Structure 1
Amino acid sequence: MAKIRAFESLVKKYAHLADFVVVYIEETHPLELGHVKGNYEISSHENLEQRLAAAQILADEVSLQNCPIVADTMDDATNILYGAMPERLYIIRDHKIVYQGNRGPFLYDLKEMEQNLVRLLDQPEAVITNANDEDNGKEEQ
């Protein structure tokens, strides 16, 4: 996550009110493509062990206390279901997506997500969505 430090601050601020999780999906900038210099040297994952090792690199880099880092399955089920590539922010309540941010790292807005989270915490019955996305409100799988 390009904005991992800002996300880390958000987790620290709201961990007592909400649960957070990071799902590590397929590698966006695999080493073999050579299109990003100075990035971590992570190749495309050929098996779950490699994906878990890559997720561990992220876990070692940041201290996301109260926020587990998990890995997607090798069939990329989470990535496909949530349109997560390369990264995406969601708020899920009662098994329903109530906020879907734009695709990251350049189009999503952590401030917008925080505002929606605060509004949801103040008004628990509210369903808050990002008006820029047409596929909000779908059931979490």
Structure 2
Amino acid sequence: MRLLVIYIAEAHARDQWPVGKTISCVDQPTTIDQRLKNASQFRKNFNFEMPMLVDNMDNTFHTIYGSWPFRFYVIHDGKLALKAEPGEQSLAYDMDELDAWIVNFYQSRRPIN
């Protein structure tokens, strides 16, 4: 199993929809170089070690998968196997439910002895 993050457009960019000085600390990138720089700066500032990909400036990943503001996906054999979304009331994820789905997914694919 491989986990990774995909950096998409800024949800609360300083120049578009700011939510405070500490949260909205960058402008919306207008070039891929700016988006790459933001992703790199985030990795450095937060000592983020998980592999990170960066969506292109056409926002292809975001458009196809509807990833705003954030989502969890399982892609298996090139096909979308799970798109976890936050609860309607809480707007939060049940991480235990997501963990259980992943465990069940991989256990169901284990060879039978």
> Structure 1, unaligned stretches of length 5 or more?
1-17, 126-141
**How much has 1:63 moved relative to structure 2?**
4.0
Structure ID, larger Rg:
2
Q: How many residues align?
A: 107
Aligned to 2:28: 44
Q: Does 1:115 align with 2:100?
A: yes
Which structure has greater strand proportion? 2
TM-score of the aligned structures, taking structure 1 as reference length:
0.67
TM-score of the aligned structures, taking structure 2 as reference length:
0.82
Aligned to 1:98: 81
**How much has 1:100 moved relative to structure 2?**
0.7
The DSSP-based 3-state class of the residue aligned with 2:39 is helix
Alpha-carbon distance between aligned partners in 2 of 1:64 and 1:121, rounded to the nearest angstrom: 26
Which structure has greater helix proportion? 1
Aligned to 1:53: 37
Alpha-carbon displacement from aligned partner over 1:15-66 (angstroms, at most 9, x marks no partner):
xxx101100000000101353112141101110011011111221234444x
Q: What percent identity do the matched residue pairs reach?
A: 25
